[in-house]
């Protein structure tokens, strides 16, 4: 069985917490994403820009990559997981349901 990948990340390395990624029949692993920005704007349905980066900090995610979501309205940035080198980004707590 080939490993499932999400944008180059191997599933066993990715955060499989259901708040952040879920297995969907027929689609494989699908990332969840925020629906409200830190300022309260509704950002579901493509009203945000999804990105990601790696960095040089000591977090485990510095290798596997951070996910960031930028509100198209106010450019506020949500990040998962939190990065100590990006204090201006608001850590996202994940999908509630
Ligand atoms: Zn916003
Ligand atoms: Zn970092």
pLDDT value of position 58: 77
Q: Which residues surround ligand 2, an ion (CB under 5 A)?
A: 55, 57, 59, 62, 83, 85
pLDDT value of position 59: 75
pTM: 0.77
pLDDT value of position 62: 65
Phi, psi of 24 (to 5 degrees): -115, 125
Give residue 64 CA to ligand 2 midpoint distance, Å. Answer: 10
Ligand nearest to the CA of 56: 2
Contacts of 31 (CB under 8 A, 6+ apart): 6, 20, 21, 67
Does the pLDDT value for residue 1 go beyond 50? no
- Structure confidence by residue, pLDDT tens digits, 7-61: 555 545 454 788 988 888 898 888 899 999 999 999 998 999 999 988 888 777 6
Give residue 27 CA to ligand 1 midpoint distance, Å. Answer: 29
DSSP code per residue over 36-89:
B-TTS-B--TT-EEEEEE--SSSSTHHHH-EEEEEETTT--EEEES--TT-TTS
pLDDT value of position 63: 67
Give residue 78 CA to ligand 1 midpoint distance, Å. Answer: 10
Q: Residue range 50-78: average pLDDT?
A: 88
47 or 1, higher pLDDT:
47
78 pLDDT band, cuts 50/70/90, is very high
């Amino acid at each position: 069985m080939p490993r499932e990948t999400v944008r180059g990340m191997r599933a066993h390395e990715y955060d499989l917490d259901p708040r952040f990624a879920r297995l969907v029949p027929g689609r494989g692993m699908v990332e969840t994403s925020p629906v409200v920005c830190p300022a309260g704007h509704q950002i579901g349905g493509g009203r945000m820009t999804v990105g990601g980066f790696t960095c040089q900090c000591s977090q485990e995610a510095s290798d596997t990559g951070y996910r960031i979501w930028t509100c198209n309205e106010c450019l506020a940035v949500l990040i998962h997981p939190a990065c100590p080198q990006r204090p201006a980004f608001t850590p996202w707590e994940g999908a509630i349901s």
